[in-house]
Homo-oligomer: A and B are copies of this chain.
Amino acid sequence: MVLGLSQESGISGPNRIAFARESYFCKKHYLQMPMFPARPLILASKSPRRRQLLTEAGFSFTVHSLDVDESFPPDMPATEVAGYLARRKALAGKHLIKDREIIISADSVVILNGQIFNKPETYDEAYSMISQLAGNQHTVVTGVCLLGSEQERSFSEHTEVFFEDLSPEEIKYYIEQYQPYDKAGAYGVQEWIGHCKIRRIEGTYTNVMGLPVHRLYAELQYFK
């Protein structure tokens, strides 16, 4: 579905970022997608999973990755953190917006019993997170911010995820095989653990992967 891919790297300057830019063109889709604003989209995310979802859904877009401080106020309710961070990421790129461009930013958090599970830094931390998720229900919240020069739209989407039990051998296998250190909650829904050990979700799969595409599609209609 990706008909063209162009790359620029190392662009720097006051209005540019010092990371690679990648453009994903789905010209055929772009021209025909109904009820869709004919405006350039910028995905402000390093996540290959968000890129994959937008591509599968037939969007054309450019990726600009920005480094943003991901701390949040300690007293903030867990369900509000993803929206807060998504908005911060979009605002960090606000000065990059040209003409009719729209920035798309997102942040996902895994919440179990009111506690946020971030990206694990060590094997033991990953092991601890997965062993707590095993046999339990948790919530994935993805916050999204759409930012154009004339308006901002922010929203959060919740999905309930139900894990099967996992044996110590299974947790060890998953961490060693998949190295989930770049993933909130220490798991990727599209990997072995997601396919073999999630028994039910209530909500959308794309939200668990990191971008609630159906909400994104609906909200983009408000940009004319």
* Interface window among A25-33, A88-96, A108-116, A126-134: A25-33
In the bound complex, what is the Cα–Cα distance between A86 and B28 (angstroms)? 37
Partner of A35 from the list B29, B170, B192 (CB cut-off 8 Å) is: B170
In the bound complex, what is the Cα–Cα distance between A193 and B183 (angstroms)? 27
In the bound complex, what is the Cα–Cα distance between A18 and B189 (angstroms)? 36
Most buried by B among A28, A34, A35, A217: A34
If the complex has contacts A170-B35, A201-B204, A202-B202, are A57 and B177 also in contact, measured as CB distance less than 8 A?
no
CB-defined contacts of A56 to chain B, threshold 8 Å: 190-192, 195
In the bound complex, what is the Cα–Cα distance between A35 and B169 (angstroms)? 8
Interface string of A173-200 (1 = CB under 8 A from B): 1001100000000000111100111111
B29 touches A167 (CB 8 A): no
If the complex has contacts A35-B167, A58-B192, A192-B58, are A198 and B173 also in contact, measured as CB distance less than 8 A?
no
Partner of A34 from the list B167, B204, B217 (CB cut-off 8 Å) is: B167
Interface SS of chain A: helix, strand, loop or mixed?
helix
Q: Is A154 an interface residue (CB 8 A)?
A: no
In the bound complex, what is the Cα–Cα distance between A50 and B55 (angstroms)? 20
Q: Which residues of A from 201 to 224 have beta carbons under 8 Å from B?
A: 201-206, 213-214, 217-218
B202 touches A28 (CB 8 A): no
Q: How far is the CB of A218 from chain B (nearest CB, A)?
A: 8
Q: How far is the CB of A190 from chain B (nearest CB, A)?
A: 6
CB-defined contacts of A198 to chain B, threshold 8 Å: 204, 214
Partner of A205 from the list B33, B167, B170, B201 (CB cut-off 8 Å) is: B201
Partner of A214 from the list B29, B53, B173, B196 (CB cut-off 8 Å) is: B196
Q: Is A22 an interface residue (CB 8 A)?
A: no
7 A–B pairs (Cβ distance < 8 Å), ordered by A? A34-B169, A35-B169, A53-B195, A58-B177, A197-B217, A199-B204, A201-B203
